[in-house]
C-alpha cells in the first residue's frame, strides 16, 4: 500500500487557533455516546463530541515503528470525516498531554 493509503489528514481547531494540522494513522474521539476510532477509508460522518480526550497517532514518513500518540482534552465539539480528511472543531481545549 502507498503511504497515502494509510494516512489521514487531521485538523483540530479551537476558536483561538489551530491546535494540530498534519497526517495521522488513526484518531480516537469522544463521541457523545462513547469513544470511536477513525481509520483510513472511514465512511463519511459528521457527529457531535462530548467531554473527553482526542487521541491521535502520528507516523513520521509513514513509519509505524516511529509512531507517537498525542492527546488533546476537550469539553465538546464536532467532527467531520470525509475522504481521509478529518476536521475537528472543539469548544474548549484543556492542557495538552504528551
Flag whether pLDDT at 61 surpasses 70: no
Is residue 13 helix, strand or coil?
A: strand
User: DSSP secondary structure string, 17-70?
Assistant: -EEEEEEESEEEEEETTEEEEE-TTPPPEEEEE-SEEEEEEE-GGG-GGG-EEE
Q: Report residue 63: phi and psi, to 5°.
A: -85, 115
- Top pLDDT among 6 and 49 is at 49
Confidence band (pLDDT; 50, 70, 90) for 67?
A: confident
Confidence of residue 62 (pLDDT cuts 50, 70, 90): low
First to last CA, the chain: 30
The string of pLDDT tens digits covering residues 14-27 is 998 999 999 999 99
Total-model pTM: 0.84
* Cell output for 59: 507516523
Domains belonging to the chain, first-starting first, are 3-90 (2.60.15.10)
* Residue 4 pLDDT exceeds 80: no
Amino acid at each position: 500500500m502507498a503511504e497515502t493509503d494509510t494516512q489521514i489528514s487531521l485538523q483540530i481547531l479551537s476558536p483561538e487557533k489551530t491546535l494540530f494540522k498534519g497526517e495521522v494513522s488513526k484518531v480516537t474521539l469522544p463521541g457523545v455516546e462513547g469513544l470511536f476510532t477513525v481509520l483510513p477509508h472511514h465512511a463519511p460522518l459528521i457527529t457531535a463530541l462530548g467531554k473527553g480526550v482526542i487521541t491521535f497517532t502520528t507516523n513520521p514518513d509513514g513509519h509505524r515503528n516511529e509512531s507517537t500518540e498525542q492527546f488533546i482534552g476537550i469539553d465538546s465539539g464536532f467532527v467531520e470525516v470525509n475522504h481521509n480528511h478529518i476536521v475537528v472543531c472543539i469548544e474548549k481545549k484543556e492542557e495538552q498531554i504528551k
